[in-house]
Structure 1
C-alpha cells in the first residue's frame, strides 16, 4: 500500500510538472532534420495561457498556449548542412541541438519494408559503410493503439553502424543513395510493422466512408474476438513460452513462433492511431509505401485499389500536403512457381491494384520488383528495390528524368489472330531478360470462352504481339498472372521487370 501511495504521488507530481512547463512533441529531438522549402509546423504542450517563444535559424515566432496546446510556424528555409539549435521558451527553456535542414522521407509498410539491413544481401557491408552525419534516422516503434495517441517513444539518431544494423533495408538503400546524390541532409522516418493489413493504416473516419468496411469498424467487437482467440490457444502460448525459456537457458536460438499465435493486436486503425497520427502534421518531402502481403488474398485483394487510394488521400490531407509524392513498391510475389497459364492468385490481384492506383492517382508512381522475390515472402535481395525507389524519387519528387520501373501496361489492340500490347516506361526499349535464344515467358491468351492458354509472345516495334494456335479469335491477354515465377522475363533495357497485368475485366474467381 505504501508503494502504491508513493507511485500515485510520483504520477501526480510528474503530471503537474509536465503541465506546468513547455513541452515539445517527441518528434523534435537532437539530431533531427527539418523539411526545407516549405512552412514548418512545430508543436507541443504548455500551461493554458502560457507564452511560448520559438527561435531557429534567425527566425523568432511566439504564441499563447490554448487549452494546454500550442503550435508555431516557421517560414520556408533552404537546406542547411551546418548544425543549429532549435530553442523553445516558456516558463522553462528547451534546446534541441544539432538540427539540420534538408528533405524528410517516410518509409512505411509491413514486413518487407521493416526487414533489417543486417539480414539482407550485402547488408553487412552497407552497415560498415553507413557512417553519414547528413543522414538522420527516426525509427517509430511498434505501437498499435485502439485510439489515436499524440506521441511516440523515439528519438532522431545519426546514421552509423550502431544505428543502421536493424533499420529498414529498403529505406536505407533508398535514402543513403538519395543523400549521396543530392548532397543535402536527409531525414529517414521509418514506420513499418510486419503482418499489418492496409486497414490498420487508415483512420476510423476514412474506413467508415467505405461501405464494404462496415464489418471491420466495430473496434470493441474486433478486440473481443482477438482476446477470445488468445484465450482458446492459451495452452499453446504457455507451451511456447516454456520452449523459449528452455532455449534461452541452453543458449540456443529462440524457436520460431507458431503461426497460430498472433503477435500484438494489429486490427483496423491501430497502426494509424499509434504510429501515423503522432507524426501529424509534420512537413515531409514524400512517402515510400511497401505493403500488401496481408491483403493479398483472393477474398480481400479486390478492395485494395479503393483502400490504397483512400489511404493516400487521407495521408495527404493529414500532412496538409495535397500533392505529397507517394511511391508504391509493388509486391514481388512468393510461394510456388507458376504452373498454369493463369492461376487463382490474390498476389496477382494485389499487384494489379497497385498498378491501377499508380496510373490513376496523381503524384504517385510504381516500382516493379518481380525479379527480386523468392519462394519465401521475406526475400533478402532488398538493395535493388531501395535503388529503384531512389530513382523513382528523383523522377517523382525532384523532376529528374530517370528510368525507375519496368514496362507498365498501357493499351491493347486485337489484330486478326493476335493481340498487340503497348506499354509505358519502356526506357531504352523492351527486351527479353534471358539468353538470346530464349522466348518471352509468362503471357497467356484467351478467346471469348475465357479459357487461357500459354501464349507465344514476341517483341515487335517496341510492343509485344501475343498469339496462340489454340486461340483463333483472341480477346484477352494476361501476363504474370500467378503468385510468383522466376521465369517472367519481359524487361526494359535498363533492367527493370514488367508489371503483372491483364487486358480483360472478367470477374476473378
Structure 2
C-alpha cells in the first residue's frame, strides 16, 4: 500500500531478495565502501575516516587534495586511515593505491556537511510525490546537494558492506527520486550557506518499526535470538514467494486494454476466487505488487435500473479504476485508506445480470479490496443496501514480487544490520529522523520513549560522537482511527518523541498542523524540511533563533483553573487565526473524564478552565491523532507540541495500565 512508497516499475520479472550479500569482487582486490564513490560528499571540519578491504598485509596509500595517509591491511584484509580535517570545498579526487596493485580513484568529491536521513515512509517519501512536485523537480539544479539512497535490505548479522547505492547530484533528471524531507532540508541549509555542499544519506524503509533500526545491544536483546528470528522470517519469505509464483504462473499475460477485462461479457473460467474485503497478500499472494483485477456480478430488476445506483467498494489499496457493464464509473489514485463510493448512472445498468470490474494497482505492501464488510455494498434507486462482501473473481495482470518480505522491517535489528551498521564510521554532521507511525499503537507508543532514547545513544556510540546532533519530525496529524475516549496512541507516541529532548544536541520539528487527515503521507514536505533546518541551525550550527513552537514547561492548578507556562525561545504565544482564545485543551476532575475546556492567552501563559470540571486534576492539549482544533502557536507561526499534565505531577506521566494492554 502507499504507506510503503516503493518506486513502482511495470513489467519487472518476479524476484525475491533481501538478504545482504557481499559484493562480488576478485579475491584480495582493493575495495572501498560504496559511500566512497564518484560524487561523494565528505564531512568538513572533522577528521575523515577512510576504510576498506585489500590483500592481507598489503600497504595502502590514501591521497586526498594533496594530503596522504598510509597503512597496512590486517590479516583479514581490512584497513583504515584517518585523513586530516578539511574545509568545505571541491571537487577533489580521492585515490586509494595498493603497493604493487591497483589504484582506485573516486572523482568529483565535495567536502561539506553529511546528514543521515532515516526512518519510515514519510522520510522515504520522494520529491516526485511532494506538493508542487513538477515545479520542484524542474528547479532542482544544485550540484551542491547530493543524495545517496541505501537500498532496502536486511540481514541476520551486522554487515560490513552495503547492498548497493551511489551518489547523485540534484538535477531535474533525478531529484524526483530523492527523499523529499531530506532534499528540502538540504535546500534550506544551502540557502543558509551556499558555499557548503550538503550530502543526504537516505537509509529508509516505509512501514518500519524503530526496533528494526536498533542493534541487539541497544534493545538489550540476545543477538543470537534476534538473528534466528530474522532467519525464520527470511525462510518464510522464500516459502511465501514460491507459493505466490505458483498461484500466478498461469497468468502471464495482461489484457490488450483495460476495457477488455472490464467488458460485461468476459470469459472468467480461468480466474480464481478471492475473498473481499481482504488484502490479497493475506490470501496466498504474499509480496505481490502491481496490477490485478476483480470482477463480480449482481442482478437488478427492471425498477432498479430506472435510477442511479450507489456502489461502495471499501478501501482499495492503493489505486483503482472501476467499470459497471464496461462503462467507467470512478477511480482514485494512491488512496489506500479512503473508502470508495461511486455513483453508477441508470444508463449503465441492465435488467438481469450486471458486472462490476475493478482494476487495482498496489504500490507496495498489502494490496487489494480491503476495509470492512459494511463498506462493500450496492444500493439501487429506492432500494435497500445489498452486501458485496464475499467471493469475487480475481486474476493478476502486471505484477512483481517485492524484493523483500513486507514485515521483515518490523523485526529487531534486521535493518540496522544491513542499512545502518555498514555506514559506520562515515563522518556525519548529524541525523534527521522521521519514524513512529509503525509504533503508534497501545503499549508500544509509551515504550517508544525508552527505545528512541536508547537508539539515539546507540547510534552516537557507534559513531563515537556523543554530541552528534539528532533531529526528528514529530508525527503529523492524521486520522488513524486508533483513538478511544480515554487514550490516543498517536498522542502518546508524540509525547514519547518529545521526551527525547532531554538528551543533549536534540530537537524536533513539529508537523501536527501540516498533516492530512486522510493521508498518512502529507505532501507538504517543504515545510517539514524548513522546520528541520531551523532545528539544525540551532543545534548543529549554534545559531540563536526560534526553532520550535511553545514547549510545555509547567502547569499549576487551583480550584477552578489551570495555568500553563512554556519555553518560548524569546518568542511569544499566539493563536493561529488571531485573538487570545486557544482551542484544543481538555480538563478532567477526580473521575478522570476529560471535557473540552476554554483557554485564554495571558501574557506568557495559557489559563484553562471548564464549566464541566469544578476542581481540575489533569489537563491535556492536542491529545488525539488528528487535533485539527489545536491552534496554539508562537508569533513565528510554529505550533505548540501536544502535552498533558496532572495536579500532582506537571511532567510526563507514568505509564497507565490501559497503555500496557
TM-score, normalised via structure 1 length: 0.89
User: What are the equivalent positions in structure 2 for 1:386-405 lying under 5 Å apart?
Assistant: 386-405=529-548
Structure 2 CA distance, aligned partners of 1:241 and 1:277?
38
Structure 1 CA distance, aligned partners of 2:614 and 2:549?
30
**1:374 matches 2:516:** yes
* 1:221 CA drift (Å): 3.8
Larger Rg: 2
Q: SS state of the match for residue 393, structure 1?
A: helix
**1:94 matches 2:104:** yes
Counterpart position of 2:632: 490
Contact kept in structure 2, 1:115 and 1:169, CA below 8 Å: yes
Structure 2 CA distance, aligned partners of 1:71 and 1:413?
56
Counterpart position of 1:476: 618
Contact kept in structure 1, 2:230 and 2:414, CA below 8 Å: no
Counterpart position of 1:424: 567
Q: SS state of the match for residue 317, structure 1?
A: helix
* 1:343 CA drift (Å): 4.5
2:418 aligned to which of 274, 282, 292: 274
Give the CA RMSD over aligned residues: 2.8
User: What are the equivalent positions in structure 2 for 1:127-166 lying under 5 Å apart?
Assistant: 127-152=137-162, 153-166=164-177
Contact kept in structure 1, 2:226 and 2:412, CA below 8 Å: no
- 1:96-147: per-residue Cα shift (whole Å, max 9, x none)? 1111111111111100001111111122211111111211111111112222
Q: 1:42 to 1:236 in 2, by over 3 A?
A: closer
- 1:373-418: per-residue Cα shift (whole Å, max 9, x none)? 1122112111111110011111110011222222111111113411
Structure 2 CA distance, aligned partners of 1:371 and 1:222?
38
Structure 2 CA distance, aligned partners of 1:41 and 1:65?
15
Q: SS state of the match for residue 398, structure 1?
A: coil
Structure 2 CA distance, aligned partners of 1:406 and 1:130?
30
**1:415 matches 2:426:** no
Structure 2 CA distance, aligned partners of 1:440 and 1:219?
51
Contact kept in structure 1, 2:156 and 2:414, CA below 8 Å: yes
Counterpart position of 2:216: 204
Q: 1:297 to 1:94 in 2, by over 3 A?
A: same
Q: 1:260 to 1:337 in 2, by over 3 A?
A: closer
Q: 1:477 to 1:274 in 2, by over 3 A?
A: same
Q: Flag structure 2 segments of 5+ consecutive residues without an equivalent.
A: 1-20, 262-289, 292-360, 369-404, 647-652
* 1:235 CA drift (Å): 7.0
**1:307 matches 2:434:** no
Structure 2 CA distance, aligned partners of 1:78 and 1:372?
37
Q: 1:138 to 1:336 in 2, by over 3 A?
A: closer
Q: SS state of the match for residue 373, structure 1?
A: coil
* 1:222 CA drift (Å): 5.5
Contact kept in structure 2, 1:345 and 1:482, CA below 8 Å: yes
Q: SS state of the match for residue 53, structure 1?
A: strand
TM-score, normalised via structure 2 length: 0.69
Counterpart position of 1:171: 182
Structure 1 CA distance, aligned partners of 2:184 and 2:223?
39
Task: Pick the structure with more strand per residue.
Answer: 2
Counterpart position of 1:111: 121
User: What are the equivalent positions in structure 2 for 1:416-455 lying under 5 Å apart?
Assistant: 416-425=559-568, 428-434=571-577, 436=579, 439-455=581-597
Structure 1 CA distance, aligned partners of 2:516 and 2:225?
35
Structure 2 CA distance, aligned partners of 1:291 and 1:241?
37
- 1:219-241: per-residue Cα shift (whole Å, max 9, x none)? 42465367558868987887689
User: What are the equivalent positions in structure 2 for 1:210-359 lying under 5 Å apart?
Assistant: 217-221=225-229, 223-224=231-232, 246=254, 254=291, 255-256=361-362, 259=366, 263=406, 265-266=408-409, 267-335=411-479, 343-358=486-501
Contact kept in structure 2, 1:408 and 1:423, CA below 8 Å: yes
Contact kept in structure 1, 2:160 and 2:421, CA below 8 Å: yes
Structure 2 CA distance, aligned partners of 1:215 and 1:439?
53
Contact kept in structure 1, 2:483 and 2:489, CA below 8 Å: no
Q: 1:221 to 1:419 in 2, by over 3 A?
A: same
- 1:165-209: per-residue Cα shift (whole Å, max 9, x none)? 121111110001101211211111111110100000001222125
Structure 2 CA distance, aligned partners of 1:244 and 1:474?
66
- 1:443-463: per-residue Cα shift (whole Å, max 9, x none)? 011122222111111100121
- 1:239-279: per-residue Cα shift (whole Å, max 9, x none)? 68988963797599741256389626222111101110110
Contact kept in structure 1, 2:550 and 2:568, CA below 8 Å: yes
- 1:264-295: per-residue Cα shift (whole Å, max 9, x none)? 62221111011101100111100001100000
Question: Which stretch shows the higher mean deviation, 284-293 or 404-413?
Answer: 404-413
Q: SS state of the match for residue 165, structure 1?
A: helix
